[in-house]
């Protein structure tokens, strides 16, 4: 039985990096960048008004006070997309809208709310304006030529917005890992069907497809295969022929009908991991066939989720060249005692809450590793070290967030 760290080492050191692919920005969301991205200009590209109001020379407003206002002559207008092309001289001002370039000569903006319009071209101000007020100076957000997003970062929607501003129309990203899912189990039926005696609906395909897509994979499902060696072998062979990763659920424990490992051996795959000292998720299988990866994850719905997050998620991200492949870990106070499972490290589904300003992990009431109803509400896992029978209520514990 391998320690989690050792299993992960073996898995990651057998994980190839996929080829690059150039895509348009709109297609890049969720993908991993394979080049640093440089801004092609200063951002903002000009000194920009942050308010609707008047652009002016701060010096002109020195000494302005209630009862002794300063008067300025309005000589034009600057709007977003339409600059004022003249010069603001002493005693002059330009009406300006949010997003417009600051006119030459002006060094501040005063907002419309505190300005009195005397007529079309004369305004009054009753307080001095500081130089630079309500201006976003050119280049404070980004400098032309600077690396703004690093190779290995994932393109989130907000990164995409920044990349759009940097002119990154096409990007070198990782190809998406193609992942084929197979659920094993003679007892499994599809969601549309009503289970007969001793049948259950296939649920793992849905959780795994979602998790894998969130990790950047392109997922296809090969459906359910019954517990039969020939059928399992054929399903794996078929899935391997059109994917980079085959992910099975079920059929990896010690029962007479757990046929994933025999099928993999028949196909000539090298089984590198088959048991990990963890709970739930002990019978986690990792195998390689050439450059292709096979995960045989446990069948129980909670075990499969824990095993996916601990092993498959970092693998998929590493394949894409991501620099940050692990889920966030943090400390929180356990709101109730938590049972351990020595000598295995245990992962208790929990919810992270902020109570009285401190982070608490609230273990969910669950009936065991089949309890997908309880797991539905989990957003983190409480880690119980392998040498602990239990964690105490109020103890500061390690938590793995299931949200990245
Ligand atoms: P196994 O690892 O094949 O022995 O499966 C362990 C438990 O998980 C059994 O109770 C299975 O019925 C259940 N199970 C296996 N595959 C699935 C699946 N795709 N969806 C829901 N439950 C499953
Ligand atoms: Mg089974």
For 291-303, the pLDDT digits (tens) are 999 999 999 999 9
What six digits make up the tokens of 100?
């417009």
Query: What is the model's pLDDT at position 88?
Result: 98
Question: Percent of the chain beyond pLDDT 90?
Answer: 99
Is the predicted pLDDT of residue 199 greater than 90, yes or no? yes
User: In angstroms, what is the span from residue 188 Cα to ligand 2's centroid?
Assistant: 9
* Cβ atoms of residues 296 and 285 within 8 Å: yes
Query: What is the model's pLDDT at position 81?
Result: 97
Ligand nearest to the CA of 257: 2
**Is 301 a pocket residue for ligand 1 (Cβ < 6 Å)?**
yes
**What's the DSSP call for residue 58?**
G
> What span, in angstroms and rounded, lies between the C-alpha atoms of 130 and 111?
12
What six digits make up the tokens of 228?
């039969």
Q: Which atom of ligand 1 is nearest to the CA of 258?
A: 3
Q: Which residue's structure tokens are 């002109």?
A: 60
Q: Candidates 181, 183, 185: which one to mutate for ligand 1, based on the most atoms within 8 Å of Cβ?
A: 185
Residue 44, preceding bond cis, omega within 30 degrees? yes
* Cβ atoms of residues 227 and 198 within 8 Å: no
Burial of 253 (0-12, 13-18, 19+ CB in 10 A): middle
Query: What is the model's pLDDT at position 404?
Result: 80
Distance of CA 85 to the CA centre of its chain: 44
Strands 292-297 and 245-249 turn out to be parallel
* Cβ atoms of residues 99 and 47 within 8 Å: no
Q: How many CB atoms lie within 10 A of CB 59?
A: 12
Please tell me the pTM assigned to this model. 0.94
> What span, in angstroms and rounded, lies between the C-alpha atoms of 213 and 20?
18
**Is 298 a pocket residue for ligand 1 (Cβ < 6 Å)?**
yes
What six digits make up the tokens of 388?
């602990």
Backbone angles phi, psi at 244, to 5 degrees: -90, -30
Element (H, E) at 118: strand 115-119
Query: What is the model's pLDDT at position 42?
Result: 98
User: In angstroms, what is the span from residue 256 Cα to ligand 2's centroid?
Assistant: 10
**What's the DSSP call for residue 61?**
G
> What span, in angstroms and rounded, lies between the C-alpha atoms of 266 and 195?
32
pLDDT tens by residue, 84-100: 999 999 999 999 999 99
**Is 188 a pocket residue for ligand 1 (Cβ < 6 Å)?**
yes
User: In angstroms, what is the span from residue 283 Cα to ligand 2's centroid?
Assistant: 12
* Cβ atoms of residues 251 and 260 within 8 Å: yes
Task: Tell how many helices (H) and how many strands (E) occur in the chain.
Answer: 9, 28
Q: Which amino acid residue places its CA nearest to atom 6 of ligand 1?
A: 299
């Amino acid at each position: 039985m391998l320690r989690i760290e050792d299993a992960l080492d073996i898995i990651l050191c057998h994980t190839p990096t996929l080829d690059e692919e150039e895509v348009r920005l709109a297609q890049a969301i969720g993908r991993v960048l394979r080049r640093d991205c440089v801004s092609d200009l200063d951002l903002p590209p000009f000194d920009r008004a942050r308010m609707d109001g008047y652009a002016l020379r701060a010096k002109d407003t020195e000494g302005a006070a209630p009862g002794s206002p300063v008067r300025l002559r309005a000589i034009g207008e600057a709007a977003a997309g339409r600059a004022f092309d003249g010069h603001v001289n002493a005693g002059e001002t330009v009406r300006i809208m949010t997003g417009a370039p600051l006119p030459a000569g002006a060094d501040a903006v005063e907002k419309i709310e505190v300005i009195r319009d005397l007529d079309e071209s004369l305004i009054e101000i009753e307080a001095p304006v500081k130089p630079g007020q309500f201006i976003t100076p050119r280049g404070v957000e980004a400098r032309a030529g600077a690396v703004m997003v690093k190779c290995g970062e994932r393109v989130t929607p907000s990164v995409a917005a920044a990349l759009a501003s940097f002119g990154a129309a096409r990007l070198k990203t990782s190809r998406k890992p193609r992942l084929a899912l197979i659920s094993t189990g003679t007892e499994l039926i599809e969601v549309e069907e009503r289970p007969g005696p001793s049948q259950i609906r296939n649920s793992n395909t849905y959780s795994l497809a979602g998790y894998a897509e969130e990790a950047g994979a392109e997922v296809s499902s090969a459906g359910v295969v019954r517990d039969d060696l020939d059928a399992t072998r054929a399903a794996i062979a078929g899935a391997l022929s059109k994917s980079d990763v085959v992910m099975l659920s079920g059929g990896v424990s010690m029962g007479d009908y757990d046929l994933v490992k025999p099928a993999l051996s028949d196909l000539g795959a090298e089984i590198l991991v088959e048991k990990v000292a963890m709970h739930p998720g002990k019978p986690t299988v990792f195998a390689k066939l050439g450059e292709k990866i096979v995960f045989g994850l446990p069948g129980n719905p909670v075990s499969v989720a824990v095993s996916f997050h601990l092993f498959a998620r970092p693998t998929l991200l590493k394949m894409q060249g991501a620099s940050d492949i692990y889920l966030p870990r943090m400390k929180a106070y356990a709101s109730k005692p938590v049972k351990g499972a020595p000598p295995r490290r245990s992962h208790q589904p929990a919810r992270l809450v902020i109570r009285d300003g401190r982070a608490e992990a609230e273990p969910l009431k669950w009936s065991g590793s089949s309890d997908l109803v309880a797991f539905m509400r989990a957003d983190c896992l409480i880690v119980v070290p392998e040498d602990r029978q239990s964690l105490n209520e109020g103890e500061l514990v390690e938590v793995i967030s299931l949200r990245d």
